[in-house]
Structure 1
């Protein structure tokens, strides 16, 4: 790469990332200079007023929260406040290829798990990185943008467990309501809608590696499918929440189009909620406390407080407010208002960073040095959606598979292969390595040679859909600014490792099909440090590798689990009301009862739509 191209590229991207990383510091400096009012409308929508009153207060502006805010504010008689701890999106968020870099900014809460005994052995202190979005748009502003709703059996299972109104027939119309699909070949599919707020499209950039993988998967017997259609099983190019090649976040889809037209919707960025205000006698929520610019504020809610803060922050806020496990709250001195199993269950999709395959192609793997000035001009100025920069972190195709050990029905996938046109070497150790908390010795042994040689390669991340391992989340103390303790207990059930091993074996089988052999695909034969005692590529070697190169795709669920009254594991009812409480709901992916056969971004929008319907039905005419 020429010095001029390097300067142009990195100046542009660094400037964008710097804005995100330094927003809080910038606001403090601006306040000290007395310039708050000048930049009020460009950096933050509103300054809070102490004791302000609203009908609904929504905590968290992720996919569910933005959906709720947009839908509830459709009623001009209702005043709605949307509260978000983070800031606003910028050019970096809208550039899909920069997904990995966003993990190093203030847009990520930066959570890590407690040290894992049986997983994440390749990470510093065995701590898994568990990114969550912090900003208007939430995780939809930093995730890989994969749009995958789930399997009909997921939702039918929810309904069968007593969650009336959550069957596949109930939720499919809600998925469709959210979607504005621009999917070539699926224009007339009954499983897609073309008039919703959220843009869904095939990623326009497509490498020869992805084409070979899709063809090889078909040669291996996996049908081409629309995994959001009639059947998930098979292989497909990835469907993404992008619009003309740029990220289409929850904020972009639901809030930006309406915020200037609704005087009844107030949006408060950089506002960290610390507690839900609850009347201990009536057990009714009546407001929130939050910090803004180093000052404490309270807002009052006439109708409801709604937590949409995600799988970590929603349970944290419930517990800080006296709703949660009696033993944990008593230990840290939080007065108990309602005993509930908040955080007692935590499921997550764990995957393996590999296997990686090298190829004989040239110029197909994404490296920063391969992004040209022409690409940048074409993407940013001409709006071309087909450049490197529209690649969603390198993810290009997905395959949904059955495991030979599966006991689930034949149409219910067990494993997903995520085809990435690269690896941790693709960003030359500047983003994903840091974001995943991977140790230097692991990176140097496996990926640095690829970085230095710039050899083409691709990786198949293997993810298990239905893990048996159950973790938990709890408070370390009553300080609302401290992280909760997160212990997913990855691979505590050995069978979870075996499912991923099955996926690795199928990945290798696919690599031997003619389409991939035509480009010289072969397994990267570098050994994972710590697994040297095992024969390379043996089952025991892969088991060791799975526990070392463990990686979460950020699909945590069930910390505020949904279930009917009488379910001892449930925190919220099928109407998403917190059990035993009044005027308090949780509306986000923390309510999902079991790990879905999906990434969770699409489900978050659906839950937001469902929650808005439930709330409007309760308060219609009131």
Structure 2
């Protein structure tokens, strides 16, 4: 169809339709937010607090600290305003590989990822206001109480599960009407915070409910709300979404504070060094920034707060002379504070793909999708208003009566012959052709239910190391997936529990079957055997984008980077507040816990200074 129809007309009808199309085309310009302006700051300007990184944590800190009117706050972001694709929930993958993404890759280790291009794993990270809260799948998970008990039991007394729950509530504004009707669920969430929490208005709810029912059938109990159930069971998860638009920390925390005269935000400004005083007693007094090609210095009266994320935070600390002494010397960096734990304790939620095929859903109706695109422009509904993965999740262990989840399942549903299958396999997972073709052979005539198996509490740890003293050179990311043999055994057994889904009523009704992902090393193993899955795990493991722990909190400077109040050991006036401070990774998606950490950290700072 070329838009021209040779029918007799007076022109009235064609003008009506042309005006309508022009109207809908122009409404895309309304998909925006009131982002803060880029402030003009003179060199050597003095602030009370300088926050490095306007990501999931940094935006929260900027809002909460600028609540104190007498405090002058500077927020520094390396990226720019988020693009439209960040606001529209279904289009987040359109940000991957662009200037709004740091585009990190893990280091090749000659052990894992033989089936991935270059034997590396792609780690997208948000480079914009809101950071990775502007690029993620928006799934909002608290974690399990035992996660925070582990933190507390390691001497981090500021992080008892009861305290943690209070700060989740401080952040939240639950909007999901069906959840608010249940008193127990409603009491588990906050009602008056800046962060809108809702349920996606899904266009495939019948299918996702069938998936949840299938999990329930194999012993992963269906629950009304996963967070209220302490992330045990299966169900539809809450999300940082409101009326069909993403709720990032930039939109929730930064935009609402943008007109405060004491809050200053600068963008496209890359912090290259934390300035530390000379002499034995080290104190952070400012930062050095590359801003539009110019080197500038900004000074801090009270504190410098690093919220640059699990990769950039340890990199910046080490570039500034804070880190493992021998490693810094090897990069010609003067070691000012010997902290061996900087960059260590890298933990991530790995995922392993499990391909289940079926006769439904049928091929995508392109015309229907066009209409839904117009529907989204008009009322923020349709497929564009939901996450690019589904919002159906399962948390489980090998024992159905366990009180702590060991595994998590996401699922992506691709209709028959979907072009998105190849996009995902090539662009996101980056599998080599033999793997991709083995999936495409099945997905051309069948729908693909891509179950993403997630090992929640890996024993394998990695690290972040500098390649050089050049701030613009990306660091080495050693993920070390399956470095501990116990992880491999646990993952294979956890996956085998999920493959039982093909025997459930729903999957039987659509002719469901488990597909083989071909790879030469794995092809001789029996499909669905433990050896097969161990082989797939080692060769095809990727990430679900939850790196944490590289500036862990604890009381021992030999093994941790910050104390329980998030102060860097051995340096006055310097804190780290982001995902890197987690001593142990939480159960589930990590964006919610990072926002909680920033809420708690903000109050700790206020307690210390106000």
Query: Fold-level match, TM-score > 0.5?
Result: yes
Residues 140-183 of structure 1: CA distance to partner in whole angstroms, max 9, x if unpaired?
00011111111100101111110002011011010011111123
Q: 1:66 to 1:3 in 2, by over 3 A?
A: farther
- Structure 1 SS opposite 2:86: coil
Q: Does 1:330 align with 2:329?
A: yes
2:388 to 385, 393, 412: 393
Cα separation, 1, equivalents of 2:337 and 2:471:
19
Partner residue of 1:219? 217
Q: Give the aligned partner of residue 566 of structure 2.
A: 576
Aligned runs of 1:174-323 on 2, under 5 Å? 174-187=167-180, 188=183, 189=185, 190-207=187-204, 208-225=206-223, 226-260=225-259, 262-281=260-279, 282-323=281-322
Q: Structure 1's 428 and 368: CA in aligned 2 closer, same or farther, altered over 3 A?
A: farther
Asked if structure 2 preserves the Cα contact closer than 8 Å seen for 1:576 and 1:611, the reply is yes
Change (3 A) 1:314 1:448: farther
Structure 2 residue aligned with 1:417: 409
Alignment partners' CA distance in 1, 2:594 and 2:294:
31
In the alignment, which residue of structure 2 is the partner of 1:601?
591
Cα distance, 1:457 vs structure 2: 2.2
CA distance in 2, matches of 1:171, 1:360: 45
Instruction: Report the Cα distance in structure 2 between the residues aligned to 1:51 and 1:196, rounded to whole angstroms.
Output: 35
Structure 2 residue aligned with 1:533: 524
Provide Cα deviations, 1:59-109, integer angstroms capped at 9, x if missing partner. Answer: 011111000000000011011011010111122111111122211211110
Does residue 105 of structure 1 match 2:71? no
2:378 alignment partner, one of 381, 406, 418: 381
Residue from 78, 82, 90 that aligns with 1:85 = 78
Matched, 1:506 2:501: no
Q: Highest CA radius of gyration, 1 or 2?
A: 2
Q: Helix, strand or coil for the counterpart of 1:104?
A: coil
Q: Secondary structure at the match of 1:165?
A: helix
SS at match of 1:186: helix
The 2-side partners of 1:550 and 1:120 are apart by 6
1: distance between equivalents of 2:561 and 2:89?
35
| TM-score relative to the length of structure 2 | 0.90
User: Is residue 531 of structure 2 the alignment partner of residue 515 of structure 1?
Assistant: no
| TM-score of the pair, normalised by structure 1 | 0.88
Aligned length: 580
User: Within 2, Cα distance between the matches of 1:47 and 1:219?
Assistant: 59
Superposition deviation, residue 570 in structure 1: 0.5
Residue 151 of structure 1: aligned partner? 144
1:451-475 deviations in whole A, cap 9, x for unaligned? x44x322111110111111111111
Partners of 1:428 and 1:223 in 2: how far apart?
29
Provide structure 1 residue ranges, at least 5 long, that are not aligned to the other structure. Answer: 21-40
The alignment partner of 2:256 has SS state of coil
Match of 1:613 among 603, 606, 610: 603
Q: 1:493 to 1:298 in 2, by over 3 A?
A: same
CA–CA distance in structure 1, aligned partners of residues 3 and 116 of structure 2: 36
2:8 aligned residue: none
Distance in structure 1 (CA, Å) of the matches to 2:440 and 2:39: 46
Classify the secondary structure of the residue corresponding to 2:207.
helix
Structure 1: distance between partners of 2:540 and 2:490 = 15
Query: Distance between the aligned counterparts of 1:431 and 1:289, measured in 2?
Result: 39
Distance 2:516 2:123 in 1: 29
Using a 3 Å threshold, how does the CA distance of structure 1 residues 617 and 368 change in structure 2: closer, same or farther?
Answer: farther
Match runs of 1:349-368 below 5 Å:
349-353=349-353, 355-363=354-362
- Native 8 Å contact 1:413 1:465 kept in 2: yes
Q: CA RMSD in A?
A: 2.5
